[in-house]
Chains A and B, each alone.
Chain A
Amino acid sequence: MNAQGRRNLLQAAPFIGPFLLLYVGLLIYPLLDGLTLSFHRADPFGGRAFAGLENYARLASDPVFGQALGNTFKYAVVVVPVLTAITLALALALNKPGRTASVFRGLFFSSAVLSVTIITLIWRFVLTPDAGLLAEVWEAAGREPVPFLSHPDLALLAVAVATIWWSIGLPMMLFLAGLQQIPEDIFEAAALDRANRWTTFRRITLPSLRRTAVLVVMLQTAAQLQLFGQAQLLTAGGPGGASRPVVLFIYETAFTRWELGYASALAQVLFVLILAVTLLQFRAGTSRREP
């Protein structure tokens, strides 16, 4: 490294140093420690025995992990596009001055302030076939209530619905912010050109939101592939594992089975998968040239 480089590094150190220190200490070090752990049989109390690739060989042939992985991706493939579309639509509709839009923004943001313990409690009492809110409505209409939380084909969907309801706030805000950054004069110019609304939307609004959309999709993909609390508390992964995501499996493996090595191996695999998917999205989203 030349003198200039060293000087620049020295100059940058006070800015990025503190964060990097904590980042490495609190995230990267434990991650690497977890990687080491994944080559061991280990329990939470410091017992460790080297096991080579045993844990990885094991997960490759573990049907429960296979099911959990399938669930996780199935779920993300539903939640991410739906959530993105809903929040984009909401942002487009609510990117307006005035009281009405502001009240609506508040309403759609409100669920984001609740913790996962609470939203699952709420949705249990919406979805349960006995005396749930939907069941009451269904029964009032003379229909047999649907067992959302215990039907193998519906349980994961129930988790997805609860999550979408819960997660609208952040992406909607990001889209709103993206919209507000589009300079007003572009729209005025388009109006002068007598462009109709659809054309304006397609030619101006959407392209300007592309980077926001990529960000939202990446963040949501990473977040949804880490689905945990909602599934644990709403369906406990059931019935028959039909709604068990990978992270719940990791949690069970670590905390009720005390198989820390295996849990770490599972976590490493999930980490690599999330990384791969989000990187692909990033490349797909930024490869074309900006308009």
Chain B
Amino acid sequence: MKGLADRHRLSPLALAGLSVAALVMVAPLLWTVALSLKSNAELMRDSGTAFFAPYTLENYRAILQGSQVFGWLLNSLIVSLGTTLGVLALCSLAGYGFARLEFPGRRALFVFVLLGLAVPEQAVILPRHQLFADFGLHNSYPGLILPGLAAPFGVFFMAQYFRGIPRELDEAALLDGASRWTLFWKVLLPLTWPAQATLGVFTFLASWNDYWWPLISATRSDRFTLTVGLASSQMNYAQTSGLGYLMAQAVFAALPILIVYALFQKQIVGAMAGAAAAR
């Protein structure tokens, strides 16, 4: 059983390689944190000083004093959570429908949905902006959430996951007299928790980090998401005069997500066990 034990341990060589790779991965992040802890005036002269003390929290203090930052944070949370919940609901339903139900045109419709994966956002953003203007949806939460809900990847992902669940389960449930709906809701959906977790995390991330749509849809500062709000704080030449502040903003914007990831990392990685899309 040596081979088996082997596969569960990192060899010293692999460990060394991974450590180097991890260093490359983390160095830019540490650099960012270091810059965020320096005074702007000092960085304007030489960003190399970030390697050395003195460090300061003045940039973080400035962010927290910015009256609107918490409002933006709240907007981002609402939009990202709303998008995530919506995507999970819609894609679970549709994924189940495509994976398990027989109906005319199923294959063609599925391909039609997959086409969406190839649509560049720039190809739809302007007509969509006009559409939302016609419905008065700009500067509103629905206006920010809705575009994220047309997520072909989510449907594909959930469909593949449902396909991986043995059909015997369905047959047994249907024999017991369960309706299609009960089967979906009570039997199959609970089994997809790993896929939900994965899709949820990626949807949340994509929504949290979205930039162009909120930039042109939420034009009022009380409706900004965090990404757009922080961008609005950058002056035209802020990179020179407020580098430390800018970097502190970067850290601040990433922090909530890092915390979420740290809390859920077991579920996310572990859960993906079954979630492999392509089963």
Contact = CB atoms under 8 A, between A and B. Distances in A.
Asked whether A and B interact, the reply is: yes
Interface of A: 1, 5, 8-9, 11-12, 14-16, 18-20, 22-23, 25-31, 33-34, 37, 44, 90, 93-94, 96-98, 100-102, 104-118, 121-126, 131-133, 136, 165, 168, 170, 173-174, 176-178, 180-181, 187-188, 190-191, 197, 200, 211-212, 214-215, 218-219, 222, 225-226, 228-229, 247, 250-251, 254, 260, 263-264, 267-268, 270-271, 274-275, 278
**Main SS of the interface on chain B?**
helix
Most buried by B among A19, A107, A218, A274: A19
B149 A22 contact: yes
Contacts of B278: 178, 211-212, 214-215
Interface in B1-49: 1-4, 6-10, 14-15, 17-18, 21-22, 24-29, 31-32, 35, 46-48
Given A15-B96, A106-B261, A250 B122 contact: yes
Contacts of B128: 26, 30
B94 to A, nearest CB: 4
Contacts of B127: 29-31, 33-34, 37
30 contacts: A8-B104, A15-B96, A15-B184, A16-B97, A16-B109, A27-B124, A30-B124, A34-B123, A37-B126, A106-B261, A110-B29, A115-B209, A117-B227, A118-B32, A118-B254, A121-B250, A122-B29, A125-B32, A126-B28, A133-B31, A173-B269, A177-B198, A177-B274, A188-B4, A214-B278, A222-B118, A226-B122, A247-B120, A263-B126, A270-B123
A113 B261 contact: yes
B224 interface: no
Contact of B268 (A121, A173, A275): A173
Given A1-B104, A16-B109, A219-B117, A177 B272 contact: yes
Contacts of B141: none
Interface stretch (B54-62, B65-73, B150-158): B150-158
Contacts of A1: 104
B104 A93 contact: no
A23 B254 contact: no
Nearest to A32: B127
B96 to A, nearest CB: 6
A9 B125 CA distance: 32
Interface residues of B, number: 101
A23 B8 contact: no
Nearest to B97: A15
Contacts, number: 277
**Main SS of the interface on chain A?**
helix
Contact of A115 (B14, B103, B125, B211): B211
Nearest to A112: B205
A23 B208 CA distance: 21
A212 B277 contact: yes
Nearest to A173: B272
Q: A-B pairs with the 10 shortest C-beta distances?
A: A15-B97, A211-B278, A267-B123, A177-B272, A115-B209, A33-B127, A30-B124, A30-B127, A19-B94, A180-B273
B246 interface: yes
A133 B27 contact: yes
Most buried by B among A14, A26, A165, A176: A26
Nearest to A126: B28
